[in-house]
Amino acid sequence: MSEALERLGGLKRPELTPRRLTMAGVILALLVLPPVLARVAPGLFSDYRLGQATRAVVFVIAALSLNILMGYAGQISLGHAAFLGVGAFTTGYLTWWYGFPFITGFIASGVLGGILALLVGIPALRIRGLYLAVSTLAFGIMMEQMVFSAEFLTGGQAGLRVPRPLQGEFEFVRNGDFFVLCLLVFLLVWLFDRTLTSTKVGRAFFAIREDEQVAASFGVDVARFKLLAFVLSGIIAGLAGSLYGSLIFNAQHEEFSFQRGMSLAFVIIIVVGGLGSRAGVITAAAFFALFSRLDIQFIPRFEMWVPIIGGLLLIYTVARHPGGLAQAWLEAREAKESKAARAGTLVEEDIANVLPALPAVTVVAEREGAAPARSGAPVLETKDVSVNFGGVQALQSASIEVPHGKVVGLIGPNGAGKTTLFNVVSGFIKPTSGVVKFKGQDVTEDPPHIRASMGLGRTFQLIGLAKNLTVRQNFLLAQHPLARYGVLPGLFRLPKVGTIEDELEERSKEAIAALGFERFRDTPVRNLSHGQQRLVELGCSLATSPDLLLLDEPSGGMAPAAAESLAERLIDVRDKLGRTILLIEHHIPLVLAVCDEIYVLNYGSILAHGSTEEITSNPEVVAAYFGEAVA
């Protein structure tokens, strides 16, 4: 039976390791013991103490919601308490005023939180950084002043009563019982969060956080996944708000006001715990929730000092440990890994020896909806492409053709428009006029992730990797177009997702082994040398067998011996794998060694086009590029 299930959906019987058994035992104890101990030992496990523990659990859920947005996707939010307020007021409105069951208000809180987060996230498609932070802050203040204070919606100053679920039958009025309910919700959120980070959805979030251009070049729909991060964060925050309102039996607008500092508290929790660190955020949130309710006799009104203490802790964290608690915990291991990486850093001669394995990195790619390249037809055509940046003409009627199975060079002096043309081809810049065709299709209006999914890969002048991710994670990210499952199956890791993820893992393992980087598999890319990073980038760009590979100065930072070896490998990629390459390169010997034909750009216009012999003997090219005429 189990074998049949594995064939049908990739289901696997979970291995009962000692660690999993221990975790299961701890979870069971947390679910069973609190209500029992509250009755057996009411002095030690008082209703008040269990109430504070419940508050900590609710804070953890809310912090995890913000961590998805800020820690994973890198989108700043300074008005997150508004989503908790939405959850609390929605639950009170439906349960207290209209008598609906708690579960109705709970689900509605998540749905409404997600809808509002979607609306807040729309500006994030065009703004980022400080402007995004200000817009989220404005949303929080607007909700407080215009919605939460509206008497006909929220009861005005009196607020709304938020009853606990089925308290007559299951006695959820007791904090010990309500703690179990909140803990169950936390476990579900934790499992969802853990699942999220193990699929292409989580990797897309991480890539957006690192560099949106790099994410798009790997086939990630940046706009779509940005909005998804807002929606998921809003849903979980709304659910946390529903629980919070039931915990305190009431929802008042002061509780979620800017002056109260709840939004700032969550930002402090995320930063101090460590952006993107699940364990760090959980620890910081639980500590903050318990610490802010301490009763210290010799410090009057101690709760008012908590924001000040949190602000000082935030400043210290940013100055000394930008990665928060997660960085502090991992500093020893990071130091050891960095030392190992330095000890194993490839010198230029070693890089030259590793490069022969580069063609073996390529895997068989199956991209949905990608038309095959036609043999003999141009893989890429640009016709009269012009780009204006204000009054600056970066490109002027630039037309090139890249035949299938050829290596075409794009050279010219600095500022000639080469990278601008690359960005037009890959979709990062929309041309002012002209047409771009890829494999015979007009892609002028298509965004970068669509072109990547069609089989267009590229590297960047400044290395295009997610540098805070490991080598393995970058290879998985590079295969984003091959992860043939939707967002919804990915969020819940349905059986099909597990099968596909196993395939991607195996391909990544093979590619890393072919590159000779097994010892750096779990090393963050930032800890590698420049030469190693360049090799990983080249490997990632080849991992999906692109029909057209755009290489932006691939020999940058390499010694002559390594550049010579790279030339041989690019010829192998062309001849043995049948790949098509468009190459920007200032290392002229490499260009002459690998290119079948060359285009020369000068002041945004095509100055010359021809074979290597024709280009090197062209007096205009020599004068423009080398600054001297041929004797």
Domains of the chain: 33-260 (no CATH), 353-625 (3.40.50.300)
pLDDT score of 10: 41
State which amino acid sits at residue 430.
K
State which amino acid sits at residue 289.
A
Distances (CA, A) of 431 to 223, 358, 395, 415, 506: 20, 34, 9, 17, 39
Nearest alpha carbon to residue 324 among 282, 264, 263: 282
Q: Is the pLDDT at 6 greater than 70, yes or no?
A: no
Contact 233, 117 (CB under 8 A): yes
Contact 73, 275 (CB under 8 A): no
Nearest alpha carbon to residue 601 among 581, 626, 624: 624
Give mean pLDDT, residues 131-156.
Answer: 86
Give the C-alpha separation, 611 to 613, whole Å.
5
Q: pLDDT tens digit string along 518-552?
A: 888 888 898 888 878 888 888 888 888 888 999 99
Contact 272, 150 (CB under 8 A): no
Quickly state the pLDDT bin for 17 (edges 50, 70, 90): low
Q: pLDDT tens digit string along 58-99?
A: 999 999 999 999 999 999 999 999 999 999 999 998 998 888
Quickly state the pLDDT bin for 597 (edges 50, 70, 90): very high
Give mean pLDDT, residues 293-305.
Answer: 54
Give mean pLDDT, residues 485-501.
Answer: 87
Q: Which residue has the higher pLDDT, 250 or 86?
A: 86
Quickly state the pLDDT bin for 226 (edges 50, 70, 90): very high
Q: Give the percent of the chain with pLDDT over 90.
A: 32
Contacts of 8 (CB under 8 A, 6+ apart): 495
> What residue has token string 């508004």?
82
- pTM value? 0.85
> What average pLDDT does the structure give for the chain?
81
> What residue has token string 């919606």?
153
pLDDT score of 631: 43
CA 449 to chain centre: 14
> What residue has token string 């000082």?
312
Give mean pLDDT, residues 369-373.
Answer: 55
Distances (CA, A) of 455 to 365, 370, 373, 417, 426: 9, 7, 9, 24, 11
pLDDT score of 105: 93
Nearest alpha carbon to residue 437 among 396, 379, 398: 379
pLDDT score of 305: 66
